[in-house]
A = this chain, B = another copy of it.
Amino acid sequence: MQVDIEKNPQEQDVRSQWVLNAPEPPSPCRVVADSLRKTISHFQQKFSSLTDQPCTTLLLSLLQLIFPIFSWGRNYTATKFRKDLLAGLTIASLCIPQSIGYATLAHLDPQYGLYTSVVPPLIYAVMGTSREIAIGPVAVVSLLLSSMVQKLIDPAADPVGYTKLILLATLLAGIFQASFGLFRLGFLVDFLSHAAIVGFVAGAAIVIGLQQLKGLLGITHFTTKTDIVSVIKAVWEAVHNPWNPRNLILGCSFLVFILTTKFLGKRKKKLFWLASIAPLVSVILSTLIVFLTRADKNGVKIVKHVKGGLNPSSIHQLDFNNPYIGEVAKIALVVAVVALTESIAVGRSFASIKGYQLDGNKEMMSIGFTNIIGSFTSCYVATGSFSRTAVNYAAGCETLVSNIVMGITVLISLQFLTKLLYYTPTAILASVILSALPGLIDVSEAYKIWKVDKIDFLACIGAFFGVLFASVEIGLLVAVVISFSKIILISIRPGTETLGKLPGTDLFCDVYQYPMAVKIPGVMIIRVKSALLCFANASFVRERIIKWVTEEESEDDKGNSRSTIQLVILDTSNLVNIDTSGIASLEELHKSLSSRGKQLAIANPRWQVIHKLKVSNFVGKIGGRVFLTVQEAIACKTRC
């Protein structure tokens, strides 16, 4: 190739003309307009393909669009139902004790946890696009909701007002989630990076575990703060007052039982159902023990009255004139994003195992509607649960019918079995929650993050310690800030690299990445490690380049062989865009190099870049030294 070019300078000129005479790139306005037109025509196509059909088909298509169950339900078979039934019953047995426990974590009456395991799974089953997600109350959201709402109203002092706020937050979270889906704001869920989620969930798991010490030790007065220091202080004080070890003994023995079955279930895949029903078995057994020994008279704390019956309507409790409405909206926004992040992460990971795509926007709308309708029927924020979805998948679920089975099972329990929960010791609920926590602390993933990306790991431990030592919101904030700081930092302080020629090719690469690359004497080839040359980094890049050129010349000075750089080539193959500050900076660079008798050339400018350099007449100022490749820029120097 090199030989070719030197033989055919005309050919090279042709290629320079390709660069310079590229068609004009679309303006930002046209990009926006095109994208709008595309979306509209997409809907029009869908609509026109519908209107061609008779009325009933039209209705069916619309229904299928909104409720995917009408689409997959038509191929539903008895074989599938058998599998779903089994999976549904399995997750129901796990769900009942967990729901009660999470309701306690959210400072709500136990029945609210059960309510949240009835309506949301039924709604999601007809609207959702995932096939494995098990919907219901989850630990992290329960913690987040209670830790933020109790700052507004103390649940111990005014439980009714507190419950009202929780329901209002649920409605608003649902509205936020549905609108994210409607306005295709799926990227909001991406604001929490994978690393941040790993750290955040691990921190939240420890905080949740610490909260369970209240139940496990049978403490009556406990701190409302969630950070590790306050909780340990509260436990320390409680332990130094007279306390009853019966709660601890009962809780710990069943915790050991559940963890043992879990361990067995992991070792032998066939025993996994044992792990799934162990929590329910523990509840039943411990309730029986307390009932028979009347241990509640001896200081064992029990759940007492759980209100039975169907989900009552809660529409009258949703009060938009609430003085805290602004605060609640903020809380709802945070909860909405966290809940969606958890659910979509879970859904995606199982969808990719089964090899289908999850529509993020549709998912957000489904979960949003689930929570809106949930808030009308005494449910608090529901989302896809990590642990129960994994059990659902392992139990062999085929479709969302397993969620329907679970919902109906919980409904039956609510109607007929709540009286039996009277003697359930609270320590057991703590054990059930504690047993679910180890799965949330993913040390091996954290190690992998550390190995691959140190700054990602910083976001991870930032979130972890933020949750642990400050509060749940602070942990989230720390993670988001660290993640975005990285993006901004790379933009305002980009690296620069010098390129050398790879032997036997026409390629120019970073001399540090490819030690075999050879620098061209008299020429300095520089590439900026950023997609943007803009106001935030333009002066920095300019100063860096001038410093390098100066250093290069003085460095060779020592060895007494002064290498004078005649040509500085800026390889802009990275640069996606440039702004007016960037162009001004290039102009100053050109002036500065010219005053020292050096030339500046641009190699491989991208579409937006060459367009702007042409419009601002920079190409004319550097004498048209714009080339398709670095090789051709060097060839020109030899020719000139």
Contact = CB atoms under 8 A, between A and B. Distances in A.
Interface of A: 1, 11, 15, 18, 22-23, 25, 27-29, 186-187, 190-196, 348, 352, 355, 357, 360, 448-449, 451-456, 483-484, 486-488, 490-495, 502, 504-507, 510, 512-516, 529-532, 534-540, 543, 546, 573-574, 576-577, 579-581, 583-584, 588, 591-592, 595, 606-607, 610, 612, 615-616, 628-629
A595 to B, nearest CB: 4
Given A11-B504, A187-B493, A355 B592 contact: yes
Contacts of A487: 487-488, 491, 532, 534, 536
A424 B223 CA distance: 71
Contacts of A1: 1, 505-506
Given A360-B539, A453-B579, A487-B534, A352 B448 contact: no
A580 B576 CA distance: 23
A186 to B, nearest CB: 8
Contact of A535 (B194, B348, B534): B194
Given A352-B588, A615-B451, A190 B490 contact: no
A492 B491 CA distance: 13
A546 B194 CA distance: 21
A507 B532 CA distance: 23
A494 B577 CA distance: 11
B357 A581 contact: no
Contacts of A540: 187, 190
Stoichiometry, copies per complex: 2
B539 A579 contact: no
Nearest to A23: B515
Contacts of A11: 504
Contact of A490 (B495, B531, B628): B531
A509 to B, nearest CB: 8
Contact of A510 (B196, B360, B574, B606): B606
Contact of A579 (B193, B352, B543): B193
Contact of A190 (B196, B352, B539): B539
B574 A574 contact: yes
B580 A190 contact: no
Contacts of A504: 11
A44 B483 CA distance: 35
A218 B28 CA distance: 48
A130 to B, nearest CB: 15
A491 B485 CA distance: 12
Contact of A607 (B491, B512, B538, B628): B512
B592 A536 contact: no
26 contacts: A1-B1, A11-B504, A18-B516, A29-B454, A187-B493, A190-B535, A190-B539, A193-B535, A195-B535, A352-B588, A352-B591, A355-B591, A357-B546, A360-B539, A451-B616, A453-B580, A453-B612, A456-B581, A487-B487, A487-B488, A491-B491, A494-B531, A512-B607, A513-B606, A531-B576, A574-B574
A488 B489 CA distance: 11
A632 to B, nearest CB: 10
A453 B546 CA distance: 26
A592 B194 contact: no
Given A536-B487, A607-B512, A573 B573 contact: yes
A302 to B, nearest CB: 45
A531 B529 contact: yes
B580 A195 contact: yes
B579 A536 contact: no
Contacts of A588: 348, 352
A413 to B, nearest CB: 38
A449 B531 CA distance: 20
B591 A27 contact: no
B574 A452 contact: no
Given A193-B534, A456-B579, A536-B187, A592 B18 contact: no
A592 B354 CA distance: 10
A30 to B, nearest CB: 10
A513 B607 CA distance: 6
A449 to B, nearest CB: 5
A581 B193 CA distance: 7
B502 A187 contact: no
Per CB-CB distance, the 8 closest pairs between chain A and chain B, nearest first, are A193-B535, A531-B531, A513-B607, A194-B581, A355-B595, A529-B576, A28-B454, A456-B579
A546 to B, nearest CB: 7
